Amino acid sequence: MLDQTTGPRVLLKNLREAMAEPLGPQERLNRIVEQIAAAMAAQVCSVYVRRADDVLELFGTYGLKAEAVHQSQLRVGQGLVGTIAATGRPLNLAEAEQHPSFTYLPETGEELYKSFLGVPMQRAGRPLGVLVVQTTDTKVYGDEDVEALETAAMVLSDLVASGELKGLAQKGAELDQSRPISLSGESFSPGIGVGKVVLHEPRVVVENLFGDDEQHELNRLREAVKSVRASVDELLDRNRDQPTNGDSNDHIEVLESYRMFAHDRGWARRIEEAIRQGLTAEAATEKVSQENRSRLLRSPDPYIRERLNDLDDLSRRLLKQLMGNAPTPDKNRQRFVVVARAMGAAELLDYDRKYLRGLIIEEATATSHVVIVARALGIAVVSKVDGFAARAENDDIVIIDGDEGSVHLRPADDLYDSYLERIQFRVKREARYDELRDKPAVSLDGVSVDLLLNAGLTMDLDQLETSGAIGIGLFRTELQFMIASSLPRLDEQTRFYKSVLDAAGDKPVTFRTLDIGGDKVLPYLRTIKEDNPALGWRAIRLAIDRPALLRMQMRALLKAAAGRQLKIKLPMITTVSEIDQVRGILYREITARKKFGHEMPSEILLGSMVEVPSLLYQLDELMGKVDFISVGSNDLFQFMAASDRTNSYLSNRFDPLSRPFLRALRQIVLAAEKHNTPLQLCGELAGNPLSALALVGVGYRAISMPPASIGPIKEMIRSLDMGQVATAVNDAIDNTTGAETLRETLRDFVETNGVILS
């Protein structure tokens, strides 16, 4: 336990003196670990420094065998020390050997010791090593002990970052982390980008850790907090005054959370307590920021973890204010890639989209708000690249490959040149697509296919004109709800839907009612915990059980579409009776508006999505209940294959271009033709040229896709004979002795018939 005769202030004073003494690097390190051990009443204090090859090397110890220094090593993720380095979180154990990650290093003599407290050594978010204390008895250290050791770790991090220990590493090893690095992650948006790194969380390096005048530091902190709060208030007010159809209005609610945290007194109070321990205002802010990150990352609640982004952002603003730096990112670099641990959707919109080439983000999912916005911007996104932000520096050259899910930091010349060639090829290809923008998607034998756009934010609407799409086949209304901090009111929804219709002009727009639940969680809407949320209380099921939510949306859509066509489609329909329930709600809203003399839409069309396999056995009844049909290929395929599309173990096991699935899609086409019901398909299949070839082959004549897919699909359609495609695809589907998947058949057709497939 922390020696009460010394305390945090005395420990900091001793460490400060050790840092100032004219000692050699190893001697200084030995002095520091001895002082920490004494202050913590521990028999052992050890420092492990992270090398460029991600090995943690024992650089100094008090209590373990001296000959183990610079010989004992653990990889990041190996043992207790490696676990701390990998997670960035402390470990506090009464019996270290009982932890599943415990790894015994016989050369250290650590078998004598029981308790273990280890904390990460970080500087401005960069992981530099691990600081550990151990004792021979079994005990759990208290919160005050953990905070004291974290403070000592800050001092040691400063020693590592200064370069003083650089020459001590084992021969052949380096502490320099500026070598080329290639890492794999997950692709959340396709594309390739090359540019300079712009750290979304620019590392503000705290040079002065020790405070001489406590009251002066407290006054500096209070002035800086006051200024940050004022800037957040001004940012929110300025964005609120923007025009109602501007991008910022999609995300205005996101900024409300910043205001809430900025005015939280507990946040500032914890920083004041750290100052009273002897730190400067800057060092105290960084210390509390790291403590918050460690604590909130352990929360099982995704909403709490999402709020960590707000606290991180406020800490960065406060540090910049204390150090005299403007709290705005550099947005004026030509060709740059944003690198972040985590960020909000509104923050991405701060960057100049003209030069933004990609986003590398460590903590995100495919449905994170910032990823949704990035897809709308048409930039490459790679996530799940652990530790990338800590390895990168502003102005480093980086390549992001959103097609393969890889990133290359400080790439070698040959790799850089190879990617430049790929980008030049893409530029030429985009020029071809631009020439096709105003031309129809008509096959060589005169068959027309309607190419529509998937959208969900106002920024998507710019692509409606530039892509050459004839309309919006899927407008995801839930995105407005997902980026809001509270339930959008009736007038907000009405203005938003009207802005979409205004932007579309004469082009048709199909609104999908709220598809929330499952992996689309609204923090302000109480739902239930489900073992299998994709098959649970979501979409129309939730809406029917919460009729007030659906009534408000229907009312807003009716008001927004006054005098114009209104197309609404319903997600996750399982039985035709659900359509009757929704139509009843819609008719009540129509009746109420007519009663009070409000202008009505010129035409109201209600459609159903086919995503649940049970509808395949109700197609005749379904066609009599709706005005149009829209196939949701993503959900329909995962339900037919009983395969979670986000499960990496199953992602390549089942192929949507298989005979069984294409037979089901053809069955829907035949039913729609029988009843003369308009039909379209939206989903990932529509956006891939090879799978789109199969879709038009089985008879789909309206498909909706991301903006970037319009050009390639149009070029493909204009290069083929639809009759030949239909014959080849249907013959392959009916051939029970052939391969289950049609991929090779389709590729052979492309090669044989000169179809352009880029």
pLDDT at residue 525 tops 90: no
Evaluate if residue 10 carries a pLDDT over 80.
no
Q: What is the pLDDT of residue 14?
A: 82
List the domain boundaries for the chain.
7-168, 436-753
pTM of the model: 0.64
Tens of pLDDT, residues 713-748:
999 999 999 999 999 999 999 998 877 899 999 999
| Whether the predicted pLDDT of 308 surpasses 70 | no
Comparing CA positions, the residue from 576, 577, 586, 492 lying closest to residue 547 is 586
Which comes out higher in pLDDT, residue 570 or 41?
570
Q: Which pLDDT score is estimated for 427?
A: 84
For residues 321 and 402, the model is more confident at 402
**Cα separations in angstroms, 667 against 42, 96, 671, 691, 696:** 73, 62, 6, 17, 14
Same fold across 7-168 and 436-753: no
Q: What is the pLDDT of residue 298?
A: 58
Tokens of 757: 């497939």
Q: Which of 260-274, 447-461, 642-656 has the highest mean pLDDT?
A: 447-461
What are the two backbone dihedrals, phi and then psi, of residue 410, each rounded to the nearest 5 degrees?
Answer: 50, 55
Q: What is the mean pLDDT of residues 87-100?
A: 90
Give the length of the chain: 758
Token reading at 644: 């979670």
Query: Per mean pLDDT, which range of 330-334, 591-595, 679-683 is the poorest?
Result: 330-334
User: What long-range pairs does 319-326 form, CB within 8 A, spacing at least 24?
Assistant: 319/204, 319/206, 319/282, 319/285, 319/286, 320/204, 321/224, 321/227, 321/228, 322/220, 322/221, 322/224, 322/281, 322/282, 322/285, 323/204, 323/206, 323/282, 325/204
Predicted pLDDT at 389: 84
586: tokens are: 């819609």
pLDDT higher at 310 or 53: 53
CA distance 433 to 737: 39
Residue range 141-167: mean pLDDT, rounded:
84
Please give the pLDDT value at position 53: 81
Amino acid identity, position 261: F
- Percentage of the chain exceeding pLDDT 70: 85
Q: Is pLDDT of 245 > 60?
A: no
Going by the DSSP 8-state scheme, the letter that residue 487 receives in this structure is P
Complete DSSP assignment for 181-238: EEEE-EEEE--EEEEEEEESS--------B-S-HHHHHHHHHHHHHHHHHHHHHHHHH
| Average pLDDT over every residue of 59-70 | 92
What pLDDT does 563 receive?
A: 96
Percentage with pLDDT > 90 across the chain: 45
Tell whether the model's pLDDT for residue 109 goes beyond 50. yes
- Higher per-residue confidence, 1 vs 23: 23
The whole-number pLDDT of residue 131 equals 96
- For residues 567 and 607, the answer to whether their CB atoms sit within 8 Å is yes
Concatenating the DSSP letter of every residue in 4-15 gives TTTHHHHHHHHH
The answer as to CATH 3.40.605.10 being correct for domain 7-168 is no
Query: Token digits for 115?
Result: 């308790």
Of 105, 107, 98, the residue nearest 140 (C-alpha): 98
Residue 429: other Cβ atoms inside 10 A: 14
- What integer pLDDT is reported at residue 250 of this predicted model? 41
Per-residue pLDDT reduced to its tens digit, 75-92: 999 999 999 998 888 999
Structure tokens at 387: 């530790």
DSSP state at residue 112: G
What pLDDT, on a 0 to 100 scale, did the predictor assign at position 509? 97
* Strand duo 186-189 + 380-383: pairing: antiparallel
> 660-689: per-residue pLDDT in tens?
999 999 999 999 999 999 999 998 899 899
Residue 152 CA to residue 621 CA, distance in Å, equals 72
Answer with the residue of higher pLDDT: 650 or 604.
Answer: 604
More confident of the two residues 471 and 332: 471
Give per-residue pLDDT as tens, 173-226.
777 666 788 889 999 888 899 999 998 876 666 767 777 788 888 888 888 888
pLDDT at res. 523 = 60
Angle between helices 281-297 and 302-322 (to 10 degrees): 170
Q: Is 50 exceeded by the pLDDT of residue 326?
A: no
Q: What is the pLDDT of residues 489-523, one digit of tens each?
A: 999 999 999 999 999 999 999 999 998 766 566 66
Integer Cα distance of 316 and 202 in angstroms: 8
Q: What is the mean pLDDT of residues 238-248?
A: 45
Average pLDDT of the residues in 561-580: 96
Q: What pLDDT score was predicted for residue 93?
A: 93
Q: Which CATH class is domain 436-753?
A: alpha beta
Q: Residue 314: is its pLDDT beyond 70? A: yes
Binning pLDDT at 50, 70 and 90, where does residue 328 land? very low
Furthest CA-CA distance within the chain: 91
Mean pLDDT of 642-648: 70
Place of tokens 């890639």: 337
What is the pLDDT confidence band of residue 248, given thresholds at 50, 70 and 90? very low
Residue with the two structure tokens 């930039």: 379
CA dihedral 85, 91, 95, 100 (to 10 degrees): -50
| Average pLDDT across the chain, whole number | 85
